[in-house]
Amino acid sequence: MKFLIHKKITYIALCQISILCADKKMVIIDTDVGGDDAFALLLATHDERLDVRAITTTYGNADLQQTTNNAAYVLQRFGIQHIPLYSGADKPLTRKFTKDDFWDTTGLGAIKDLKSYALSHNAVQRMLRLIKKHPKKITILALGPLTTIAQAIKKNPRVMAQVYEIIVFAGNLGTMTELSRPEFNVALDPEAAETVFKSGIPVKIITFDTAVRLHITWADLLNCSPPRVNDFIHQMLATNEQKMLADCVYDPLVIYAASCAVPSIPISISIIMTHSGKNNIGQTSGKPCSGHCTISHIEALNKDALIAYFTRTLQKLF
């Protein structure tokens, strides 16, 4: 009798595990791997609620070759061998790419001399293939300029309409007067952002001003990370660590929003595409949605909950 009870309990446990696995959210991560993108990759690939089906790279924190090298380096360093890596857009849809040096020349700060990874240039093709295979089940997590996703929409809007949702770090709604400048990802390719926002695909955005108000810093990440991740962070920040420790992190918020049930508010978004003042190109503004809106704003984020999530997820790296 005890054997039968034990067998029944084991069967129920296995069924529950199967249900949990079946319920994992399938995601594609589109990223311009810099420092906080790298941290976001570690979170996503160690989160039991996320099933990362592919990583696609784009220009942004560095050129496409470098961001692809960075992604390959992070995956290899932390033994993440099962996720395919594809390279995507190497420049904006219509504009010239002007590199930002916030993360130094490589995009990973003081980590230099990375091995060169062969570019596949097939991110759009692979993205469309995955979405076609899993209609209404793929979530795209966009951590960089939205060019690759916009290219996929332009190439096959019918297939891209089958995306479950896109969660993106993008835009600055100007809710903090001292932070009125355009957000980096939208400013690099406002045409791509507009293509995505007007596509009809459900899009959830976490904005620059929301992240700054939340104020999770690299010092916070060091406090909640295991030794392997701390070593990685210290290496990236080595040449300017004291200053960088106080800087906010952004892209990991997208991974949290994908993993956890985070409320969002429907809004309509407009983007400045041209302006006499160059610094205003890509500036976003939003207002409450008065009709059918497919864009929503994730604003109600809790710092303690995020830190707890980072800590819990990264413990799997031990």
Instruction: Confirm if 56 and 27 have CB atoms less than 8 A apart.
Output: no
Sign of CA dihedral 233, 238, 239, 245: positive
- 47 or 283, which is more confident: 47
Pick from 71, 148, 62: nearest CA to 100: 62
Q: Over range 2-15, report the average pLDDT.
A: 34
pLDDT tier at 243, thresholds 50, 70, 90? confident
pLDDT tier at 15, thresholds 50, 70, 90? very low
CA-angle at 203, arms to 289 and 284, nearest 5°: 65
The span from the CA of 97 to the CA of 60, in Å, is: 8
pLDDT tier at 102, thresholds 50, 70, 90? confident
248-278 per-position pLDDT tens digit: 999 999 999 999 989 999 999 988 887 655 6
Instruction: Confirm if 58 and 189 have CB atoms less than 8 A apart.
Output: no
Q: Quick check: helix, strand or coil at residue 64?
A: helix
Pick from 102, 118, 302: nearest CA to 185: 102
Does residue 231 carry a pLDDT above 50?
Answer: yes
Burial 206-222 (b: 16+ CB within 10 A, else e): bbbbbbbebebebebbe
Domains and CATH numbers, the chain: 25-317 (3.90.245.10)
The span from the CA of 111 to the CA of 239, in Å, is: 10
Instruction: Confirm if 282 and 185 have CB atoms less than 8 A apart.
Output: no
Does residue 5 carry a pLDDT above 80?
Answer: no
Instruction: Confirm if 303 and 310 have CB atoms less than 8 A apart.
Output: no
Average pLDDT, the chain: 89
What pairing do the DSSP bridges indicate for beta strands 25-31 and 50-57? Answer: parallel
- 291 or 267, which is more confident: 267
Q: Over range 277-286, report the average pLDDT.
A: 78
Burial (CB count <10 Å: 0-12, 13-18, 19+), residue 72: buried
Q: What is the pLDDT of residue 17?
A: 33
Q: Over range 85-105, report the average pLDDT.
A: 87
177-220 per-position pLDDT tens digit: 556 678 999 999 999 999 999 999 999 999 999 999 999 999 99
pTM of the model: 0.90
What is the full DSSP assignment across 230-292? HHHHHHHHGGGHHHHTTSB--THHHHHHHHS----EEEEEEE----SSGGGTT-EEEEE--S-
